[in-house]
Amino acid sequence: MLVINKSPIDQYTLVHGAAGIAARHIGLSFQTTLALGFAWDFIVEPAAKKAWPHLFPHPTQDSPVHMAVDAVVPSLTWLLYDEYLKKNERR
């Protein structure tokens, strides 16, 4: 059973993946995407959940494992999308 903000992956992990695709699409580098993922999940989101919990559908703090997964997922989808683009460029 997936527990929001506690399981390694939850329904919002998909949103993090979409952010990686969007980052590659707009031209952000892999390194920038990785840095933004970690900055969001380890710094910005925890502080925002404390300051403005009403803005989050599930304002509980994320588990450390969940934070790490959500921080890395955008970079993984960035890489997958980059490979997809390169493969289709060769056609």
Which range among 2-11, 14-23, 25-34 shows the weakest confidence by mean pLDDT?
Answer: 2-11
Between CA 85 and CA 64 the distance in angstroms is 32
Entry pTM: 0.89
Alpha carbon 82 to chain centroid, angstroms: 16
Which structure tokens are listed for 4?
Answer: 């929001």
The per-residue pLDDT of the chain, averaged, comes to: 95
Residue 64 has pLDDT above 80, yes or no: yes
Band (38; pLDDT cuts 50, 70, 90): very high
